[in-house]
Structure 1
Amino acid sequence: MPGRPLRVAVVGAGPAGIYAADALAGQDDVPVAVDLIDRLPTPFGLVRHGIAPDHLKMRALRETLHHTLDHERVRFVGNVEIGTDLALDELRRHVDAVVYTYGAAGDRALGIPGEELPGSLAATDVVAWYCGHPDADRGRVEELVSRARDVVVVGVGNVALDVARVLARSPAELHPTEMPHHVLDTLAAAPVERITVLGRRGPAQASFTTQELRELGHLAAATVLVDPADLTDAGDAALAAEDRHVARNLAALADYAGHEAAPGTVSVRLRFHARPVRLLGTDRVIGVEVERTRVDADGRAVGTGELDVVPADLVVRSVGYRGHALPGLPLDGGTVPHDAGRVVRDGEVSRGEYVAGWIKRGPTGVVGTNKHDARETVASLLADVASGVLQPGGDDDWVDTLLARGGHPVLLADWRAIDAAEIALGAVHGRARTTLHERESLLAAVRAAAAAQEG
């Protein structure tokens, strides 16, 4: 059809996908129609299901992202899993280009003995649970949290600190969040007394931000503990002299050094030069064997042979994310091979396929990093249109095809019904919002709104 806009499907409605859709819809050189697709009935990806619920200001970013969903050139289509509800090659027949932005939600293993024991969890499991992700393994996580007095978190990134902070917060601090009520109830009753955060290298090599680190010091019912001996390394001092971020982190840690656990509070111990070598236990985790390390000239953690045991009822590993392969899409080391955002298959650029976000560059950066990343990819796509490599030519609307086979796509009006239902549920309990965590509950809100409109 002459004059038809370029049809672009963006697979993944998290920040990377929304920024890509915004870059496409916000330019006037090429007429476009963008379908923003997500396998969940809700948009916003890690802003909804990854940012800790007690970070209210950060989660408010979705209000900014929502402007893109309202754009006349953008159509949100949730509750559609590419590769299951619709094959990738089928989607590609209906559109002119596909931008993959579905992230890297898998976890990395520690690779140590005992990791398979009950009581060992990935941070992704815990985060999904307290954020109300529909796919969270609620029963397993709640069983473990509800009996954990001693928790060990392995990793010194922001996610590790998020897990430690959420487990240490008081019920009063968590009430204003959007957590599902079953999460609030479990955390309020949890017997957590001690949380140990293990970093295999020194404090200068830790990847958490200073803001996250300092936030620990403001918890109402927790005491942060740091061994002063961990802050005496001359190499760390040299790094701090060269890097202001390192200097700020070391200054924050120095504020905690020498603290003693206050009676009646949860102790949060940040322990460095500590590498887990195995999880102990027979039927379930009872402890973590830890080896003291030193940092060599290349910045690697080298074991010293000095061992001790940290008691643990629950061990949460937070040592990175990894991408997974969408059926029909190449993957190399957890990311999609690409050239400036153009997908590469068998050494050749694949016409009409693009990638952005974590599945493009790996799990690095902050939410805002995705904006520059998406713009690079969209620039490549628009350059391909300008050069004639990419032209309108797809066939009928793929959503019609999905509906004809009994699919249940969630469109923007349906998401607004979910949004309203969560706000209403929150109001009942004196909160701004309560997350609906079950897929069926999300879809029930859609059906209820449709029935009310028909009535």
Structure 2
Amino acid sequence: MDRPLRVAVVGAGPAGIYAADILTKAAPNATVDILDRLPTPYGLIRYGVAPDHPRIKEIIVALHNVLESPRIRFIGNIDYGVDVKPEELEQFYDATIIATGADKDRELDIPGIDLPGSFGGADFVSWYDGHPDVPREWPLTATKVAVIGAGNVAVDVARVLAKTADELLETEIPENVYQGLLASPVTDVHLFSRRGPGQVKFTPMELRELDESPNVEVIVHPEGMEFDEGSLAAIRAKRSLKMCVDVLQNWCARDPRDRPRRLHLHFLQAPAEIVGSPETGVTALRTETQELTGDGNVRGTGEFTDWDVQAVYRAIGYLSKPIADLPFDHATGTIPHDAGRVLDLDGNRVPGLYATGWIKRGPVGLIGHTKKDASETVASLLEDVANLPAATRDDVLPYLDRRGVGYTTWDGWKRLDEHEIGLGAPHGRKRVKVVPRQHMIDISNGI
């Protein structure tokens, strides 16, 4: 391919940025525009990682370096399918890579799930991370709270709910989040896992962080700390799982400590019903005790327990949402593909269209998996390059200007970044996030 290769990446999280980086390094003639519906880059690293995880947020340094490339351009505040249609992008780019990720909550089909006081964990994460598209207020009125899940997001949600607001004040949380947590009357947070400790999905680092607060007593309830042969085999096979189990067993055996808040860990308890009414809201979580079946799986025992809680957060996984005018598998929450090449509903390749990240493989895996995933997709694109439909129009920005689309740029992000760092400096904080979308856009544009 002698002519320059112009590619659009939709989604400025790690998946999209890694794809742009890998592509421009592999193809010296390639330029990439990364479009995102948010005014800022970094996706779930900015809006999905708990604020008290500075080590994880350090990945932004590497992503920043990628976006400094003169052959990669960030264009924010562009809603794909609304501000620009797929067929319009085809005019400006030889290929498009969809990397929109997953930021919605997986549904939990139990009675009472829609009661007042029943929340999605991803929505709560968006609130405490200062996402511009969620309400500024959160109803933190419960003294006893249940969190359903056994992954890192469930642990994050439980930890943030249990910590005091002042412990989080040194982080980048916005003022509205601090004030909301400050008013929270919570005393007890209960984390429920359907399966046993030999099947947990959180990492050792995430687990240990539960116990770092001087105000929170972590209590591992001995009921449910059970292992069958399948559990033991899994523990022997995976070092990180063994580390988690060792921590849990140590916590289960230690003497109680007198702290004002408690975080309870319950295993082999499956959510069966959220109890309450539209008038009272949540009044309890009903769980069914499970038993191990020998292979690491579980089955219900018919024994139920009602837990006195006034709020329930489900954190059982993220889910991608359908993309305008693109094929979508609602069962898996992914775009159908063959090695990253998007397929239509009949299984045929859609020319010039690719996918990477969670929208491609589902919301599983860590950052390392995202790089591998992007490499596969870029390799497919480069194999197809001779047959890609050629762009017929030049730079997309004049087109967006004529349409009156108020996009943001990489230089604009650097202005906003500097502004947020400046907000935090007088208080000894690395930054304080700006939350309202229009405020972010105005600062990005130097207004």
TM-score normalised by L of structure 2:
0.95
CA contact (8 A) 2:208 2:247 kept: yes
Who is 2:303 aligned against?
A: 306
Once the 2 structures are TM-superposed, how far is the Cα of residue 409 of structure 1 from its aligned partner?
0.9
Instruction: Give the superposition deviation at 1:367.
Output: 2.1
What's the CA shift for 1:259? 4.6
Match of 2:212 among 208, 218, 223: 218
For the residues of structure 2 that align with 1:92 and 1:308, how far apart are their CA atoms?
Answer: 56
Given that 1:30 and 1:382 are in contact with CA atoms closer than 8 Å, whether structure 2 keeps it comes out as no
Worse-superposed segment, 96-105 or 215-224:
215-224
Three-state SS of the structure 2 residue aligned to 1:271 is strand
Q: Which residue of 120, 125, 129 maps to 2:127?
A: 129
* Alpha-carbon separation, structure 2, partners of 1:393 and 1:89: 11
Q: Following superposition of structure 1 onto structure 2, how do residues 195-344 of structure 1 map, counting pairs within 5 Å?
A: 195-235=189-229, 236-259=231-254, 262-282=257-277, 283=279, 284-297=281-294, 299-332=296-329, 333-344=332-343
Distance, in Å, in 2 between the alignment partners of 1:217 and 1:279 is 28
| 8 A Cα contact 1:125 1:137, kept in partner | no
Question: Is 1:159 the equivalent of 2:159?
Answer: no
Tell me the equivalent position of 2:395: 397
1:61 shift after superposition: 1.1
The answer (yes or no) to whether the contact 1:7–1:394 under 8 Å persists in 2 is no
Deviations 1:77-129 (A, max 9, x none): 00000111111111112211000000011211110011100100000110000
| Mapped contact 2:227–2:292 kept (Cα < 8 A) | no
Q: Which residue number in structure 2 is paired with residue 86 of structure 1?
A: 84
Structure 1 partner of 2:435: 437
Separation in 1, partners of 2:391, 2:317: 40
Is 1:174 the counterpart of 2:168? The answer is yes
Deviations, residues 62-84 of structure 1 (Å, cap 9, x unaligned): 11101111101001000000111
| 1:41 and 1:439 in contact (8 A); partners too | yes
**Structure 2, gaps ≥5 residues long:** none
Q: Deviation of residue 299 (structure 1)?
A: 3.8
Tell whether 2:61 aligns with 1:63: yes
| 2:342 aligned partner, one-letter code | V
Cα 1:88–1:341 change in 2 (3 A) is same
The one-letter code matched in structure 1 to 2:214 is A
Number of the residue aligned with 1:106: 104
One-letter amino acid of the counterpart of residue 233, structure 1: F
Q: For 1:128, what is the secondary structure of its paired residue?
A: helix
The 3-state SS of whatever aligns with 1:444 is helix
Q: CA–CA distance in 2 between the matches of 1:197 and 1:260?
A: 20
Contact 2:319 2:333 in 1 (8 A): yes
Moved more, 266-275 or 366-375: 366-375
Distance of 2:302 and 2:135 partners within structure 1: 37
- Counterpart amino acid of 1:296? T
Work out the CA distance in 1 between the residues paired with 2:208 and 2:272: 29
The alignment-based identity, stated in percent, is 42
Quick check: 2:172–2:430 contact (8 Å CA) kept in 1?
Answer: yes
Determine if contact 1:227/1:258 at 8 Å carries over to the other structure: no
Query: Residues of 1 paired with 2:256 and 2:313: CA distance?
Result: 22
Counterpart amino acid of 1:66? H
Shift of 1:245: 2.7
Partner SS for 1:230: coil
Is the CA contact 2:339–2:376 (under 8 Å) kept in the aligned structure 1? yes
Q: Deviations over 1:408-436 (max 9, x none)?
A: 11011111111111111112433110011
Deviation at 1:169, TM superposition (A): 1.9
Query: Is 2:383 the counterpart of 1:383?
Result: yes
SS of corresponding position for 1:217: coil
State the Cα deviation string for residues 309-328 of structure 1 (Å, max 9, x = none): 11111110001111111111
Q: What is the Cα deviation at residue 260 of structure 1?
A: 5.9
Aligned to 1:350: 350
- One-letter code aligned to 1:199: S
Q: In the aligned structure 1, how far is the partner of 2:192 from the partner of 2:222?
A: 15
Gaps of 5+ in 1: none
Deviation of 1:393 (Å): 3.2
Which letter does structure 2 place at the counterpart of 1:157? Answer: G
Aligned partners of 2:197 and 2:227 also within 8 Å: no
1:348 positional shift: 1.0
Q: 2:36 aligns with which of 24, 30, 38?
A: 38
Q: 3-state SS of the aligned residue for 2:224? A: helix
Structure 1 residues 322-371: Cα deviation after superposition (integer angstroms, max 9, x where no partner): 11111111011311111111111121111111100000000010123211
- TM-fit CA distance, 1:238: 4.2
Partner of 2:131, secondary structure, is coil
Deviation for aligned residue 1:263: 3.6
Q: What amino acid is aligned across from residue 192 of structure 2 in structure 1?
A: L
Describe the SS at the equivalent of 2:387.
coil
Deviations 1:267-324 (A, max 9, x none): 1111000011111111200110111011224543311011111111111000111111
Counterpart Cα distance in 2 of 1:351 and 1:444: 38
TM-superposed deviation, 1:179: 0.7
> 1:186 and 1:51 mapped to 2: Cα distance?
19
Measure the CA separation in 1 of the matches of 2:108 and 2:419. 40
Measure, in 1, the Cα distance between the counterparts of 2:87 and 2:415.
32
Partner SS state of residue 285, structure 2 = strand
RMSD after superposition? 1.6
Q: Residue 289 of structure 2 aligns to which amino acid in structure 1? A: R
